[in-house]
Structure 1
């Protein structure tokens, strides 16, 4: 199963990516393409500090924008609180956008899973503050005009510049937030949810103008207006650069097309892509891309799939489980279909290694990231690899993994059958010295959670556990 040196490119269907059999030589693909850059935690620490300072300044600007005389006037306290909640909520909304703007040096340290988790946890705060801003300001203006709250809504929306579009933005924001509630969110297909979520960008854009034109923190303060405008422009620039511009440039540069699609197991297919300049594609084993297959009805959707082998120019490989409409349609795409990519993403790489001893645990389709990660492991790690599947047929890529484990001088264990018959506690017996190893776990959310809970019970250091959750 070892690929021999050859002057001709390897057959796509035989992408095993093992190098020559000579002693001390690395797997072939690992030597042929660059890995993703190493994480730089200091830059992330500085960025997080800047975000905290920015929040403090935003609240500080709002607190100092109102005089004692204005506070004492009818509705003054409500108008003051409305200004504070509005600025704080808008700033946190910008932070939410930054968390998912795919800034490379942040992604390499924290990973997309962590950033998405922070994004979801932060989300209730800006929307709650912005709702409070609208309600409290309406109360304040009603008190100032000595009229009823409901009666004040019309004059407030129609009587001030840019309030109409700001109101439209607010309605959009509330609608997207309601759709984000878990009981509703879980009923929406991923691709439909992605399209709906884009309206949050529009909502924020519609809200911008009224802040500058009407906000007491900005009216008559040109420097504050400039700084706030630059913050918005910088956020928009980062989103456009890393979520739009860079993916387009990379997709054009590499010109990926489907070369072959072949069945790998029950409901699983391997997709071989052919492209240009893949020797310049910096990606580490264990990482994933957001893939966009440019076919009718699919081109507008981007889905995350891990590479199942390091690039072997001119080929790149991913292995996909067919669990929904998109992946089922993907398996039927014709050869020659163009493919766009965004990434790579993920911290499930050898950059996270703390020791020379490694355990790799994969459940089901989670084997794909373990397969590519094995190519990157440094010599002498002697990994212990555990593959978990419900049936023999679901142990995909097992021959390739066996060859890589053998090359590294490691051990391979295969666990087949229902989880009740083989509980995760059995892993401790198979591996033996988990406390001394870096442990990589990949698979479904339930599988990863059960394994990481076991590792916590065994007092494996948290920093030695690296997880890659496959959202099904």
Structure 2
């Protein structure tokens, strides 16, 4: 909560500073141009904020969570797109009003005569393409690697937009203070990305030298991969978190997939367990022992760090049991575990979960059967866990199941701060 409030406060404070410099620079006589400049500044500030959201900074991720950061990233991205569209429309029609040109010829004229405008047009076109592929319909039909590769062009758009602001921004050059402020904003934003997305992953992988130590099939379509390395006791990973894994073979080095830790880190090895849902996860069982691993992370806030109650309820669906199993290993206090699967044969890691629950004194409920009727409806949850409103609830599973359970928890009046879940989406 403190991190979220602080992030909002920083954004609002910067919005106030931008407004001050905008007013200090003076207003054009044409209202449309004034609106165009205002929306352009708003778009620039939102774009810088967007970079901080996608930087995957550990401090923010641990306290806010990749899910929430990804949600903010999505909405901020569309806000940037619409704000810059308004900027382009207002500026074009504003100048067209003074020159008598039609809007299309006015854009062409500005691109040809004003330094930086052509770069802004190219940047905006790139952002439109990224916005289209980020729409839910398109996103569901693209492989993660394709989506991620297209998203990398965001950085090209950012650089082009920044150079446009330097060359043509009236407010940017209105005073040394304004110029210094904007350089600082972009410096922090780009620096965050440089550190979080490049320096930190390279440093950690150089330091820990990760390698595959074992590959263990758990069932026909589920496999566990054990990874060892140097100084793993100094890797800041917690039960419930996930990494973005790359296995450095000739045919897989370019693929990066998010998989949870399926066992609490013990300082000597890491374990991930994945179900074959695509070419990337299906190929895990063929990885050879000794293969070098490049891991980005750890990410996610589904950890004990955010507990506020002494007792817990852990709800897993399908292969979503992996972070839940790791969390149970790390939890203190009484816990109830509910594992929802279609049939007994789908209960991945169930033997481990049962033995761990016995050792920890936890209650374990294996709930099987088809999705309908809902066996985790509010009435069923209240029957299995009568004191559910007094527990922290950790949840992970397929999106439809998670959405249904979250609805049930609301019906049971479980306070929102006690509900912890992860969808393993990534910002940028």
* TM bracket, shorter-chain basis: over 0.9
Q: More displaced, 192-201 or 350-359?
A: 350-359
Deviation at 1:441, TM superposition (A): 1.2
Aligned 8 A contact 1:445 1:471 in 2: no
Residue of structure 2 aligned with 1:215, choices 158, 169, 176: 169
CA contact (8 A) 2:225 2:284 kept: no
Q: Whole-Å Cα distance in 2 between the matches of residues 340 and 253 of structure 1?
A: 11
* TM-score using structure 2 length: 0.94
Measured after TM superposition, the shift of residue 272 of structure 1 is 0.8
Partner residue in 1 for 2:52: 98
8 Å contact kept, 2:25–2:174: no
Alpha-carbon displacement from aligned partner over 1:86-116 (angstroms, at most 9, x marks no partner): 0101111211221121122211111000111
How many angstroms does 1:166 deviate by?
2.3
Of 29, 34, 49, the residue aligned with 1:80 is 34
Structure 1 SS opposite 2:38: helix
Q: Which runs of 5+ in 2 are unaligned?
A: none
* Residue correspondence of structure 1 range 217-366 to structure 2 within 5 A: 217-366=171-320
Instruction: Pick the aligned partner of 1:52 from 4, 8, 12.
Output: 12
Q: Which residue matches 1:401? A: 353
**Matches of 1:99 and 1:199, distance apart in 2:** 16
Aligned equivalents of 1:447, 1:134: Cα separation in 2:
43
Q: Distance in 1 between matches of 2:172 and 2:388?
A: 57
Q: Could you say which residue in structure 2 is the equivalent of 1:374?
A: 328
Report the equivalent of 1:189.
Answer: 143
What is the alpha-carbon distance in structure 1 between the residues aligned to residue 62 and residue 137 of structure 2? 32
Residue equivalent to 2:70: 116
1:383 maps to 335
Matched, 1:392 2:338: no
Distance across 1 between alignment mates of 2:55 and 2:282: 29
Inter-partner Cα distance in structure 1 for 2:291 and 2:259: 17
**In 2, Cα distance between the equivalents of 1:101 and 1:213?**
26
Residue 10 of structure 1 aligns with which residue? none
State the alpha-carbon separation in 2 of the partners of residues 220 and 433 from structure 1.
61
Question: Is 1:431 the counterpart of 2:385 in the alignment?
Answer: yes
Deviations 1:216-259 (A, max 9, x none): 11234222112101211111111010111101111111111112
Shift of 1:128: 0.8
Quote the Cα distance in structure 2 between the aligned partners of 1:471 and 1:129.
Answer: 25
Cα distance in 2 for residues equivalent to 1:129 and 1:59: 15
Please state whether the residue corresponding to 1:218 is helix, strand or coil: coil
Separation of aligned partners in 2, 1:175 and 1:287: 32
Alpha-carbon deviation of 1:422? 5.7
Partners of 2:217 and 2:100 lie apart in 1 by 72
Give the whole-Å Cα distance in 1 for the aligned partners of 2:255 and 2:19.
Answer: 38
Greater displacement, 41-50 / 98-107: 41-50
Does structure 1 retain, via aligned residues, the 8 Å contact 2:213–2:227? Answer: yes
Tell me how far apart the structure 2 counterparts of residues 238 and 301 of structure 1 sit (CA, whole Å).
24
Aligned residues: 424
**Stretch moving more, 213-222 or 409-418:** 213-222
Q: In the aligned structure 2, how far is the partner of 1:229 from the partner of 1:397?
A: 52
Structure 2 CA distance for aligned equivalents of residues 184 and 346 of structure 1: 25
The structure-2 alpha-carbon separation of the partners of 1:319 and 1:300, relative to structure 1 and needing over 3 Å to count, comes to same
Q: Answer whether contact 1:66 1:80 (CA < 8 A) is retained.
A: no
Three-state SS of the structure 2 residue aligned to 1:469 is coil
Q: Relative to structure 2, which stretch is displaced further, 273-282 or 141-150?
A: 141-150
Moved over 6 A (4+): none
Deviation (angstroms), 1:269: 0.5
- The normalised TM-score by structure 1 is 0.86
Q: Distance in 1 between matches of 2:251 and 2:25?
A: 51
Task: Measure, in 2, the Cα distance between the counterparts of 1:83 and 1:115.
Answer: 28
After superposition, what is the alpha-carbon deviation per residue over 1:382-430, rounded to whole angstroms, capped at 9, x for unaligned? 2111111112121111122122211221211111221225621323212
Matched-pair contact (CA < 8 Å) for 1:86–1:133: yes
> Residue 463 of structure 1 aligns with which residue?
417
- Cα deviation code 1:285-323 (max 9, x no counterpart): 111111122223432332211101122343211101110
Partner Cα distance (2:115, 2:74) in 1: 33
- Between the aligned partners of 1:113 and 1:54, the Cα distance in structure 2 is 24
Change in 2 beyond 3 A, CA 1:143/1:195: same
